[in-house]
Amino acid sequence: MALPSNHFRSSVGSKVVMALSGLGLVIYVILHMLGNLQVFQGSHAFNGYAVFLRDMPILLWTARIGLLSLAAFHIVLAIQLTLRNRHARPVAYAVREYRQASFSSRTMAASGFVLLFFIIFHLFHLTADMIDPSSVDRLDVEGHRDVYGKLVHAFQNPFIMALYLAGQLGLGLHLNHAVTSSLQTLGFEYVAFNRLFKAAGPTVALVVVLGNVAIILAVFLGIVHG
């Protein structure tokens, strides 16, 4: 009988773990988007949301470290599986057939790299304040850190706005295939719910990307302003 450690070192086991870690990250992306939508309620609501998170430093940093670890684990597994598949078939197909594969599934590696670089930029930009430190010390009328003002300041910049929109393109393509693929890997594929599971990826991708793009464009177009 195969040991559990040997099972998770196998391709099937690695795919299961990668699917679970991916779905965990998807849940975070959805919650992150929903939290950021409070920008439409004004500076009081959005800065209050930021204060609520900062008032729980242990929970906040545990979540941050956990998410970064989960993301790193997910990326390492993806690279290992890609290399393992290439090693299993070192000779490329003479003619590639893409009858069943969607565009998002064929570009998973590319969208993954775009997403990785976007996440790094986002962390340096709005979390660490290393790219644009001009609004680091800005406070709102209640004396709280003006996260709302920092967000508005950022997306009024056409270059920053374009980078974030490009990041959403990578995110959408990745989610479109990843959610459905993860559900299938975990065995959630039944005839009665087949259409539902196939629609899960495009639906999640559309909702998340539209939510994020709405924030970016609303600021850039002046609908949301300081």
Q: Could you report the per-residue pLDDT of 101-145, keeping only the tens digit for each?
A: 688 888 888 898 999 999 999 999 988 888 887 777 788 878 788
Q: Is the dihedral of CA 77, 83, 84, 89 positive or negative?
A: positive
Residue 226 maps to a domain: no
Q: How many domains is the chain built from?
A: 1
HSE toward the beta carbon, residue 82, CA cutoff 13 A: 12
CA dihedral (168, 169, 170, 171) in degrees, to 10, reads: 40
Residue 199 maps to a domain: yes
Provide the mean pLDDT of the chain: 84
Q: What are the pLDDT digits (tens) for 190-205?
A: 666 778 888 899 999 9
The pair of three-digit structure tokens given for residue 85, joined into one six-digit string: 């598949």
Residue 40 maps to a domain: yes
Q: Mean pLDDT over residues 39-56, rounded? A: 90
Distance CA 39, CA 192 (A): 39
- What is the domain range of residue 143? 4-220
Q: What are the pLDDT digits (tens) for 151-182?
A: 999 999 999 999 999 999 999 999 999 998 88
Can you give the C-alpha Rg of the chain in angstroms? 20
- Counting Cβ atoms within 10 Å, is residue 67 exposed (0-12), middle (13-18) or buried (19+)? middle
**Would you say residue 98 has pLDDT above 50?**
no
Task: Enter the pTM of the model.
Answer: 0.84
Contacts of 50 (CB under 8 A, 6+ apart): 144, 145, 147
Q: Of residues 43 and 92, which shows the higher confidence score?
A: 43
Residue 225 maps to a domain: no
Within its chain, how far is the Cα of 187 from the centroid? Answer: 23
Q: What is the CATH number of the domain that holds 84?
A: 1.20.1300.10
**DSSP at 22:** H
